[in-house]
Structure 1
């Protein structure tokens, strides 16, 4: 495999990121320090339900992660950041999270999640930073670790908006996606770990990883009423964007289902998902990821650990440009397939890919790319 050559840095600027595939200039890569525990409150259990439900002990709120696994994750994320820097990308990191941090509101208390999956709580729409509305209570203040960078971008001319912060009180999260799929999530929602707010009802919750950006077009996964409220917010605040409402192709994130590698070519989990994409994309060339021969690590020696990410997490790739893609080095079949299609692959190890809810795309917030307000979907 060939080594990508660093490109000269453009002049300092505010955020400028309209897509996920043109030349990447500046990116935030998350941090996993002190990620030694999951706080499995009801918001966490519902968010990760399809992955954690078969494994979650009844009534257990705190799920520990062995320090050795965390140390190896930190090593792999550091290797990822170094690989991007070697490609000529300016790499930013969040501030260091504290250990055993608790966050609370008048309605609930939860353990804070370190700022690892920075794709979730923000999305860059052109020259605007949008802070989204977290599903998980322990992530409500996570973006504070990115505020030094957001402040700098604002001073350089970026716009900066935030969706309304959700209260995440009891009864505010919608189970409609699971109800439609015939999945009973009653057990996940049981337990008095939050108080209600009279008259609140369902409120806006949404993650940046529910979006696929394509210049003037943005695909938006809407799986329930929480997401619908966010979709309406995006419509009202970004009237120049052409938003495409996807009809709940997943319970939340879609970056392990579809990744646009360049206009006209996408990485797609299976042909089943074509029907949910905009009509203009259904005729695009699609690369379907092959089965992986590399098994997940054997965690028996560590006792109980729980997978939070999809078993398809290794298709959660990050494009450096339209011909260069970062892929988990433990997925040789996808590396080979992409190389056969003419891509330069940057292999980066991610050993514990199912334990922390994200892959290389999830770990990043691409704040500066070369692309602009292009129309990629007009026939």
Structure 2
């Protein structure tokens, strides 16, 4: 696979005009295998029994998800955005992994820096290495770009050790840095994050240590006992406007952060309903907040979600509709399936 020259990395918010982006590929995706404690804490109870070693998703489901990812990439290219993709056909069953469809879980751009997650789930430990090394190698040829790769210490299999297990809120302990980059959202030089069943204090400290000068992580207070990833909880649409999931966070909790003190904060006004087909094996219907904003005026929304699209349009956004139900089924939506490389905030 030939990788095109990358423009570089420069992105520090979620809404400035998107110029270059990574879009994932599903490959031969599998239900992620993780210790039962991790699965029970985060996954829908109706499907928790499916998360076993060597359990691929149905082939027809993956074929449709792959087609949706290709269509999504084509939409972004048609909008003039440079799109970079991992190799096709990765056999995640053979790798005892999950998928390459959700790169936002494992990579975060902050300024000119790309930070790789120290995944809590063992089955994801080589995900970025397997799917995204060729892109990261191309990016790193720009000497201005800093690539922060996962340290060898993140292999430590101590996160479920029992110290303080009776009192701690989350499935994982703080024995080594653990975080999914999807637990963080960039609002300029302030990055809002959440603690979760995959992100601990050591992980937050690790991110702060590797941020470019002048950037700061602030942790928001969420009411979500199954917390795992922040991008179905808050969604900045443009500078000064953010929508949020009122079932998981309050306006008061958001306004505790100076970056949001004067923003228009809009609660999502509906209770989203889960589809019956295909099932949401790994997620909730709050994926309606997991959209990709292209430039503070336009955003990509699931093609069947007319309710959300009409509401976003009432807030001044133009919605580009894209089928994504089968990608939703395997673990995420448009924000999850992408990594911003360049956003033009000049």
- With the length of structure 2 as denominator, give the TM-score of the two structures: 0.85
Residue from 160, 165, 168 that aligns with 2:147: 160
Instruction: Note if 1:141 corresponds to 2:137.
Output: no
Counterpart CA distance in 1 for 2:282 and 2:7 is 36
Verify the 8 A CA contact 2:56 2:93 in the aligned structure 1.
no
Instruction: Note if 1:307 corresponds to 2:286.
Output: no
1:195 is matched with which residue? Answer: none
1:6 is matched with which residue? Answer: none
1:289 is matched with which residue? Answer: 268
1:316 is matched with which residue? Answer: 290
Pairwise CA distance, 1:51? 3.0
1:129 is matched with which residue? Answer: 114
Relative distance call for 1:80 and 1:39 in structure 2 (3 A) is same
Relative distance call for 1:225 and 1:247 in structure 2 (3 A) is farther
Counterpart CA distance in 1 for 2:10 and 2:109 is 8
Pairwise CA distance, 1:48? 6.7
Relative distance call for 1:267 and 1:101 in structure 2 (3 A) is same
Pairwise CA distance, 1:162? 2.4
Verify the 8 A CA contact 1:47 1:136 in the aligned structure 2.
no
1:235 is matched with which residue? Answer: 208
Counterpart CA distance in 1 for 2:318 and 2:47 is 38
Greater alpha carbon shift after TM alignment, 48-57 vs 258-267: 48-57
Uncovered stretches (5+) of structure 2, i.e. residues with no partner: none
Counterpart CA distance in 2 for 1:342 and 1:92 is 29
Instruction: Note if 1:218 corresponds to 2:191.
Output: yes
Deviation per residue, 1:65-103 (Å, 9 max, x gap): 221111111111111111111111111101234325444
Pairwise CA distance, 1:38? 1.2
Counterpart CA distance in 2 for 1:221 and 1:203 is 17
Pairwise CA distance, 1:269? 1.1
Verify the 8 A CA contact 1:297 1:352 in the aligned structure 2.
no
Q: Aligned Cα RMSD in Å? A: 3.1
1:88 is matched with which residue? Answer: 80
1:127-206 pair list within 5 angstroms: 127-144=112-129, 145-157=131-143, 158-165=145-152, 166-169=154-157, 171-172=159-160, 202-206=175-179
- With the length of structure 1 as denominator, give the TM-score of the two structures: 0.78
Counterpart CA distance in 2 for 1:163 and 1:287 is 36
Uncovered stretches (5+) of structure 1, i.e. residues with no partner: 1-10, 104-110, 190-199, 300-304, 373-379
Residue from 66, 75, 85 that aligns with 2:58: 66
Instruction: Note if 1:298 corresponds to 2:277.
Output: yes
Relative distance call for 1:273 and 1:339 in structure 2 (3 A) is same
1:279 is matched with which residue? Answer: 257
Relative distance call for 1:290 and 1:201 in structure 2 (3 A) is closer
Verify the 8 A CA contact 1:313 1:359 in the aligned structure 2.
yes
Verify the 8 A CA contact 1:325 1:346 in the aligned structure 2.
yes
Pairwise CA distance, 1:284? 2.0
Relative distance call for 1:207 and 1:76 in structure 2 (3 A) is same
Residue from 318, 322, 335 that aligns with 1:344: 318
Relative distance call for 1:83 and 1:40 in structure 2 (3 A) is same
Counterpart CA distance in 2 for 1:315 and 1:332 is 13
Instruction: Note if 1:76 corresponds to 2:68.
Output: yes
Counterpart CA distance in 2 for 1:178 and 1:307 is 29
